Amino acid sequence: GLLVLVSWVISVLNSLLQSLMVLRLSFCTEVEIPHFFCELNQVVGQACSDMFLNNMVMYFATVLLGLAPLPGILYSYFKIVSSICQISSIQGKYKAFSTCASHLSMVSSFYCTGLGVYLSSPAPQSSHSGAVASVMYTVVMPMLNPFIYSLRNRDIKRALKRIVGIPVI
């Protein structure tokens, strides 16, 4: 409960800070965001006034909120891998590593695309590539999550094979 509360409070405070930082910017009259939703770095990029302070706060928040948990995540994966290595049966190791691999692929894909969008905003890039990266971490990753974890279930695998037309043994 405490972890959820701390996470929620940090998220609200970050949103409040970023919103207040955007309020100090002035925008031109004809502004069109080349994106499919109003992401913070896209909104700040459209300002006519000096964006230096906003960019610094945005990068600091990205590094703090995105990279600060990384040592804890890496430590927990280290502990998981060391626990799996202590399993005596090869079949048990295979099952545990395959579960971890799917989870690790989802976490790393989400992390890389999310951090890439926010840390690459000053670099010249097409709006198309930024939109693709944003779709990856806001739509595709959460949508794939249930499929990747449910495919570990035998009943789901059998149903999928029946739908695709592969004979079920």
Mean pLDDT is highest, among 79-88, 100-109, 131-140, for: 79-88
Distance of CA 28 to the CA centre of its chain: 31
Angle made by CA atoms 142, 139, 36, in degrees to the nearest 5: 160
Give the mean pLDDT of the chain: 80
How many whole angstroms separate alpha carbon 21 and alpha carbon 25?
Answer: 7
Report CA 51 to chain centroid distance, whole Å.
Answer: 25
Whole-model pTM?
Answer: 0.60
Looking at the chain, the whole-number percentage of residues with pLDDT higher than 70 is 86
CA 109/CA 161 separation, integer angstroms: 27
Distance CA(85)–CA(63), nearest Å, equals 32
- Residue 44 reports pLDDT greater than 60: yes
Q: How far apart are CA 169 and CA 166, in angstroms?
A: 9
Q: Residue 162: is its pLDDT beyond 60?
A: yes
Please, which pLDDT band fits residue 72 given cuts at 50, 70 and 90? confident
Residue 75: the pLDDT is 92
Q: Which helix H or strand E contains 91, and what residues bound it?
A: helix 90-119
pLDDT at residue 84, as a whole number: 87
Indicate the pLDDT class of residue 127, thresholds 50, 70 and 90. low
